[in-house]
Amino acid sequence: MNIENSTITDIDEIFRLYKIATAYQKSKETVVLWPKFQRELITQEITENHQWKIIIDNQIACIWATTFSDEQIWEEKNSDPAIYIHRIATNPDFRGHNFVTKIVEWAKEYAQKAHKKYIRLDTIGNNEKLIAHYKKSGFDFLGFFDLKNTQGLPEHYKQGPVCLFEINLTVSANE
């Protein structure tokens, strides 16, 4: 298993995995669906080295994106030094590998190198299974929050409260 930046040649596979993830979300009925993401956004993330992949047996097993700022979602807390993880999508051929835990392990190292004190992510709506999964993977669940400003955010952020999760690396380091 290797973790590396996605490349432009991965873009069709990235969109295939987003499509599969959205279909999976739709099958759950209670889950807020991802919108169709703009190709320009993903291209920019790839160009800026913010789009990642897990490679197993020369196949993309999982993808996600990172940022160092997420002001509209994290509001006042955005000033904290943090890495933000977005859009984790797993290749169905590799489900059950608990990639979130592997991403957390990777993110701890990545955050330290970038001098960040938090690893954060969010999801929309009351998806109890996903909340439990993120908690089991090491995240603290901070609760449900209504965003003050969703202008410019993908459409799914307008469909319900956002669930915020974080790992405080200063607490983890002191334990």
pLDDT digits (tens, 9 = 90+) for 8-24: 999 999 999 999 999 98
Average pLDDT over residues 108-134: 94
pLDDT for 126 beyond 60: yes
Look up the pTM and report it. 0.93
- Predicted confidence band at 159 (pLDDT cuts at 50, 70, 90)? confident
Domain that holds residue 8: 2-174
Helices (H), the chain: 11-28, 39-47, 71-74, 99-113, 128-136, 169-174
Q: Domain total for the chain? A: 1
pLDDT for 31 beyond 80: no
**CATH number (domain holding residue 49):** 3.40.630.30
Report pLDDT digits (tens) over 163-174. Answer: 999 999 997 555
Instruction: Name the more confident of 154 and 88.
Output: 88
Query: Which among 22, 11, 133 is positioned nearest to 65, based on CA atoms?
Result: 11
160 within 8 A of 124, measured Cβ to Cβ: yes
Q: What pLDDT does 30 receive?
A: 64
